[in-house]
Amino acid sequence: EYVIVDGEVLDRTEAKVDIEDRGYQFGDGVYEVIRVYNGKMFTGIEHLKRLAESAEKIRMKLPYSPEELLSRMEELISKNELDTGTVYMQFTRGTSPRNHVFPGGNVAPTFVAYTRKVARPVDPMEKGVRAILDEDIRWLRCDIKSLNLLGNLLSKQKAAEAGCFEAILHRGETVTEGSHSNISIVKDGVIITHQADNHILNGITRQKVLEICRNEGIPFEERAYTLDELSSADEVFSSGTTVEVMPVVEVAGKPVGNGQPGTVTRKLQTLFKTEIERQCGN
């Protein structure tokens, strides 16, 4: 397995990061996960543009443009002969003696990337998954895809311990997103999903789903919705790079609708698959 460390392609066993890397000490960095189908990246450039935006939001300058990164990732996928899986990449603010203040401009970001084989979650996509509810205790810049994921981890761990796939997060009465995905509801044929602001990560999958809705004339609203709306929704689904469009059939021990994946969710899954095949072949 090959990986990239600081722009260099190495064997994984040779990859090393300093103990004073700011990602390791502070979570001072940003990352992306891109899906690979048939050896091709799906929505690759969208992810890499978001990476550049996340970096800018934390005042970090990336040494590569999204287009340059795209070709580096293509190279890594091909070297590792990856067919179906993911590419992970992160940039931290580099290595320097521990200090909360940013290091000077002479300290270059640490860049790490690697690939992983990951199958499409066909079975849960067919049957649907369960979710718990958890208070969203994260900071107020959830729009940044930063390495600081402790809030997400604590919620996801709670879900896992309850035998559930996801924790649906809420700030008081308002549903924000999931611990590792965006959460949308369907009511009377209309999809409702939290607006892209500082309270959620604007998922590339979420954006793709909304683009599909626009093209197909499926009505949607981007607005905050409440826990009451969640519990009386006809359908609930989670969306994300590795989970695609995932039906949620039970929330906090209570069935969603009739407890089966809903028709709108099913339709989105089909349209999403068509989009994957259009971009990556089948």
Helix (H, G, I), strand (E, B) or coil at 243: coil
Closest CA to 121 of 273, 279, 277: 273
Partners of 29 in the beta sheet? Answer: 92
Which CB, 204 or 230, lies closer to ligand PLP? Answer: 204
At a CB cut-off of 8 Å and minimum separation 6, what does 63 contact? 7, 108, 109, 111
Q: Please identify which residue in 55, 147, 204, 246 interacts with ligand PLP, judged by CB under 6 A.
A: 204
Shortest Cβ 206–ligand PLP spacing (Å): 6
Distances (CA, A) of 133 to 23, 113, 183, 225: 29, 33, 12, 14
Q: Per CB under 6 A, does 152 bind ligand PLP?
A: yes
Q: Which of 115, 181, 184, 265 binds ligand PLP (CB under 6 A)?
A: 181
Q: Among 217, 191, 216, which Cα is nearest to 206's?
A: 191
Binding residues among 159-178 for ligand PLP as defined by CB under 6 A: 177
Residue of minimal Cβ distance to ligand PLP: 203
Pairing of strands 40-41, 29-37: antiparallel
Catalytic residue among 145, 158, 208, 267: 145
Distance (Å, whole) CA 34 – CA 48: 9
Of 110, 241, 265, 269, the one binding ligand PLP (CB under 6 A) is: 241
Q: How far is the CB of 6 from ligand PLP (least distance, A)?
A: 25
Tokens of 279: 């971009």
Q: Which is nearer to ligand PLP, 95 or 145 (CB)?
A: 145
Q: What burial letters (b/e) apply to 43-76, b meaning 16+ CB within 10 Å? A: bbebbbbbbbebbeebebebebebeebbebbbeb
Contact string 32-71 vs ligand PLP (x = CB under 6 A): ----------------------------------------
Span near ligand PLP by CB under 6 A; candidates 54-62, 117-125, 156-164, 179-187: 179-187
Spatial contact of 173 and 227, defined as CB atoms under 8 Å apart: yes
Q: Which is nearer to ligand PLP, 36 or 204 (CB)?
A: 204
| Contact range with ligand PLP by CB under 6 A, out of 21-29, 83-91, 236-244, 261-269 | 236-244
List the one residue from 54, 90, 92, 182 that touches ligand PLP (CB under 6 A): 182
Instruction: Say which DSSP state 148 is in.
Output: -
**Secondary structure (DSSP) of 106-141:** TSPPEEEEEEEE----HHHHHH-EEEEEEE----S-
Nearest to ligand PLP of 201, 251 (CB atom) = 201
Interface residue with ligand PLP among 180, 210, 236, 276 (CB under 6 A) is 180
Which is closer to ligand PLP, CB of 93 or CB of 199? 199
29, 85, 94, 240: which one contacts ligand PLP (CB under 6 A)?
A: 240
Q: Work out whether 203 is an interface residue with ligand PLP (CB under 6 A).
A: yes
Cβ nearer to ligand PLP, comparing 2 with 113: 113
Please confirm, yes or no, whether 254 is among the known catalytic residues.
no
Helix (H) or strand (E) holding 49: helix 44-57
Binding site for ligand PLP (CB under 6 A): 152, 177, 180-182, 201, 203-206, 239-241
